[in-house]
Amino acid sequence: MVYGQGMDPVHGVMYAGQTVKGPGKILYADQSDNALYLGADAKFAIGISAGESSRTDGTLDAAGATVSYYPLGGVLMVQALNNQTFKPGMIVYAGANGLALDSQDSSEKKLGIYVGKVMTAATGDLALNGAGDSGATEGQMVLVNTAFAEAGHNA
């Protein structure tokens, strides 16, 4: 979900074998191909999923899956890793599995600035939202101003 900028989602194709199970997942593009990937450590984000990737006969497509996403640049709802703590004005990082982090644990890149209310632990996983998430690591959706995302080259 995008706040206040009237931005439409754009569309892309996921790397073979990768799927997006719901909205709010961090995506990146590896410039060696035309595919999108779920966010990973040390990768520069390109956008946030608007929903799940394509399905055929009710099953997420494993090859050639398409996905709609919002390019970075505004305030977006991003799914956090569970048990993260967010306070207004703090830096949010793009972590593994397309999930936002409250700190730089390794080589994560800046996704933006948290603009929501104080959240002592982004728990309350989204496993029961029908999106197929495992619930093992997914936390709540958090408001991030992605205009401050770190840019660079993903090789």
At residue 135, the pLDDT reads 55
Average pLDDT rounded to a whole number, residues 126-150: 71
The pLDDT tens digits of the residues spanning 17-60 come to 999 988 999 999 987 788 999 988 889 999 999 999 999 998 99
pLDDT in tens, 97-129: 899 999 988 889 999 999 999 987 666 544 444
Return the amino acid letter for 41: D
pLDDT at 37: 93
Structural domains of the chain, with CATH: 2-148 (2.40.300)
Interval 11-18 mean pLDDT: 93
Mean pLDDT of all residues in the chain?
A: 85
Q: Are 141 and 123 in contact (CB under 8 A)?
A: no
Half-sphere exposure of 19 (CA within 13 A, CB side): 16
Please tell me the distance from the alpha carbon of residue 16 to that of residue 142, in angstroms, as a whole number. Answer: 28
* Whole-prediction pTM: 0.87
